[in-house]
């Protein structure tokens, strides 16, 4: 298991769901974790408390990472608190599902800004600090919807596909400075966002997964932790699907 002792990680949207699991896993492996949130301070402070309880270091920082100035302030807070940034996990995301004929411009803009622009904002801010040290790990959370598309999610699928293109372009750009840039594409995962699905729909969708079940946030966290570790030092520009085989190829 790749250890992250003495590393400093920033995880955006880390108050709940997949982001929470990522923050906990990085903390468990020894990283000091900046738990970013935009809505619930209580949830973020709960994640911090859990990391500290398992012997780690963590701090919660509020920032709307779709806004460049706030993304820059988040990265600065990490450096001010812990002296550096080694790992950036761009996880913050939202959905505003609708058919294209019914989708509003604000539903499009909100999803693209939250899911895609935030990745550019945080990566731009963090890469400056990483390039000075000639070390860094950037892991972007995309989705199988960004690979295969999903009806009723033109905004979400476009944002997640954009993350894939961004990941590969940035990997080429800053690879010479020993900074890796990869993406993780979760499949169907049990989170708050999917908890309200009807049981029969959830069961039916599970049948299309070769492994026969939905994933857990913890399994996404473990994949991210691997890419953040030195065990993955020669992997960059890669999209790792963690989906039970749902999307192959």
Tell me which residues are annotated as active site.
156
Residue with tokens 């590969």: 168
Determine whether 146 is exposed, middle or buried from the number of CB atoms within 10 Å of its CB (0-12, 13-18, 19+): buried
Strands (E), 28-135: 32-37, 58-62, 87-90
Closest CA to 147 of 183, 189, 172: 183
Residues written for the chain: 249
Give the pairing type, strands 179-186 and 32-37. unpaired
List CB contacts of 34: < 8 A, sequence separation 6 or more. 8, 9, 10, 11, 58, 59, 60, 61, 74, 77, 78, 81, 82
Closest CA to 47 of 216, 194, 217, 195: 217
- What is the enclosing helix (H) or strand (E) of 141? strand 136-141
């Amino acid at each position: 298991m790749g250890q992250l002792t003495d590393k400093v990680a920033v995880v955006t949207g880390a108050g709940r769901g997949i982001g929470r699991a990522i923050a906990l896993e990085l903390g468990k492996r020894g990283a000091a974790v900046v738990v970013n949130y935009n809505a619930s301070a209580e949830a973020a402070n709960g994640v911090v408390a859990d990391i500290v309880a398992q012997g780690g270091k963590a701090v919660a920082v509020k920032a709307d990472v779709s806004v460049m100035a706030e993304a820059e302030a988040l990265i600065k807070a990490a450096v001010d608190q812990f002296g550096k940034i080694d790992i950036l996990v761009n996880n913050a995301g939202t959905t505003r599902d609708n058919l294209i004929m019914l989708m509003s411009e604000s539903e499009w803009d909100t999803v693209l800004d939250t899911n895609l622009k935030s990745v550019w904002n945080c990566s731009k801010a963090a890469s400056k600090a990483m390039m000075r040290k000639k070390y860094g790990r950037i892991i972007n959370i995309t989705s199988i919807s960004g690979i295969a598309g999903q009806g009723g999610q033109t905004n979400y699928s476009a944002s997640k596909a954009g993350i894939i293109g961004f990941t590969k372009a940035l990997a080429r750009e800053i690879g010479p400075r020993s900074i890796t840039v990869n993406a993780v594409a979760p499949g169907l995962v049990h989170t708050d966002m999917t908890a309200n699905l009807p049981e029969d729909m959830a069961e039916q969708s599970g049948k299309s997964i070769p492994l026969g079940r939905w994933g857990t946030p913890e399994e996404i966290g473990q994949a991210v932790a691997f890419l953040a570790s030195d065990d993955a030092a020669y992997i960059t520009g890669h999209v790792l699907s963690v989906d039970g085989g749902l999307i192959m190829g």
